[in-house]
Amino acid sequence: MATQQHIELLPAVEIASGPAPRHSIVWLHGLGADGNDFAPIVPELTHGLPPLRFVFPHAPQRAVTLNGGLRMRAWYDIRSFDLGSRADEGGLRESMAQVQALIAREQSAHGIAADKIFLAGFSQGGAVALCVALRHAQPLAGVIALSTYLPLADQLAGERSAANARIPVFMGHGSLDPVVPQMLGAAARDVLTALGHRVDWHSYPMAHAVLPQEIADLRAWLARRMGD
């Protein structure tokens, strides 16, 4: 992975839910969206929680093969419907390095320790969040993977970080998801569980979306993690 000092920081929407937050969440949007996509959930998600700092970065613009080569915000190219070949590894690893740089900035510029930083993402953003969190050299607070899957799974055993070998994982997925079928999320869960991760798995009667019940379940999970 490229060294962070040579990586230009991604632009981002930044929100603090209260004064002097001691925890951060770096939250990655899905394909074609941007950092504004999940900002509206902050008040509902943080109700009753200690102050949290949110960083919602905008993915770079890139051509997406599956969408006819149209340029849009994407963490990596998607080349086909086949999961085994859909992720562009070069683009994925580039985005992973950019997220690593955001984690470093939370520490250096905002004084938030690595073990107080959560990574979160929806769909393609969730795939990047998982890839980064499992490989990050310092222990993180947890990873939130919504309606997503696990790319580079065949390389994970050799690349994962001992520091995050037991990182808590929240996974939520829609049983009616036509974009990332729930079986792919369940397969990711099973890989992580087999490696010893604590996976809090939730299935919801929804398509490729986020429901209020999922936000409530995530809020409860965050409350436990922030109290650890």
Count of residues making up the chain: 228
Kindly name the residue from 34, 37, 88, 177 that is annotated as catalytic: 177
Q: Are 126 and 95 in contact (CB under 8 A)?
A: no
Report residue 145 as tokens.
């993977």
Kindly name the residue from 115, 203, 208, 217 that is annotated as catalytic: 208
The helices-and-strands tally (H runs, E runs) of the chain is 7, 9
Strand 12-16 versus strand 52-57 pairing type: antiparallel
Decide if 123 is catalytic. yes
In 70-151, beta strands by DSSP E: 70-73, 117-122, 142-146
Kindly name the residue from 123, 147, 173, 197 that is annotated as catalytic: 123
Decide if 208 is catalytic. yes
Selection from 140, 156, 143 nearest residue 194 by Cα: 156
Decide if 58 is catalytic. no
State the catalytic residues.
123, 177, 208
